[in-house]
Structure 1
């Protein structure tokens, strides 16, 4: 190849990386209360992102098997993030399984499978979040950031449930 097309092809690096993690968090409230935080739109919107650290974009919530969620936001002074999920399994109030894709400033960064298991324990609920992700191209090193972001989301949930 000659010219800029060959050069552009050489500078584009296509990579994949895989990342998996498990997070477990105990909440001092009933399984039903934690479940509702995921299953009811007004509750989920409160803990998942009606904050002043970003400007909300598109939001869709369709909590049923085959339903789609969309959550898009522009971080102040930062990138636009877009989450699109499909619910693949829901067993009330036992588990939720989704597949989801993430974009950052319009670039597809990852595809993941995530599960949430709700277990009654003495004094409350144990939530177990397991996630397996595939990260694309320039985002191939982003797996640890996803785990850290998921920890932050569980912190938001804990504050909402308190």
Structure 2
């Protein structure tokens, strides 16, 4: 029997990228660019992909880890202010089991020599995934590193 419990976890990450704000924004707002850094990874085989960058639009990114589980991201954009911020809610699934629901915000700020991106997130982790909050923060750090590699290449 599955233990029914919830855990809450939040974090805020800041990253400075040595490229213009438009370059970082486009990596989120243009499908071909987001796919290149968000959906493509040597660690898994990409699966379903949906990109609908508008308020009320939904994104889906699914991938099967080599010799491991299938991860599925389903997000909805709740607020977009061009070149200023993106707010979304998203659910994560692991092998078809609902893992978490989160709200995330991304703020874009021009700074001397580049762009500061601030990601703030609060997640609710469900049942057997109740202790996964620290892993989500670590995963988000890795995703922001991939973004940095992409926008500076």
For the residues of structure 1 that align with 2:41 and 2:143, how far apart are their CA atoms? 12
SS of the aligned residue for 2:91 comes to strand
Residues 50-97 of structure 1, C-alpha deviations (whole Å, 9 max, x = no match): 223211110000000000000000000111000000000000000000
Quote the residue 1:153 is aligned against.
143
Name the CA distance, whole Å, in 1 between partners of 2:125 and 2:17: 31
Q: What are the within-5 Å matches in structure 2 for residues 74-153 of structure 1? A: 74-153=64-143
1:34 paired residue number: 24
Q: How many residues align?
A: 152
Which position in structure 2 is the counterpart of 1:45? 35
Provide the secondary structure at the position in 2 that maps to 1:18: strand
2:55 alignment counterpart: 65
- Work out whether residues 63 and 71 of structure 2, in 8 Å CA contact, stay in contact via their aligned partners in 1: yes
Matches within 5 A, 1:11-22: 11-22=1-12
Q: Which has the larger radius of gyration?
A: 1
Give 4+ residue runs of structure 1 displaced > 3 Å after superposition. none
TM score, norm. by length of structure 2? 0.98
Output the aligned Cα RMSD: 0.6
Q: Which runs of 5+ in 1 are unaligned?
A: 1-10
Q: Which runs of 5+ in 2 are unaligned?
A: none
More helix by share: 1
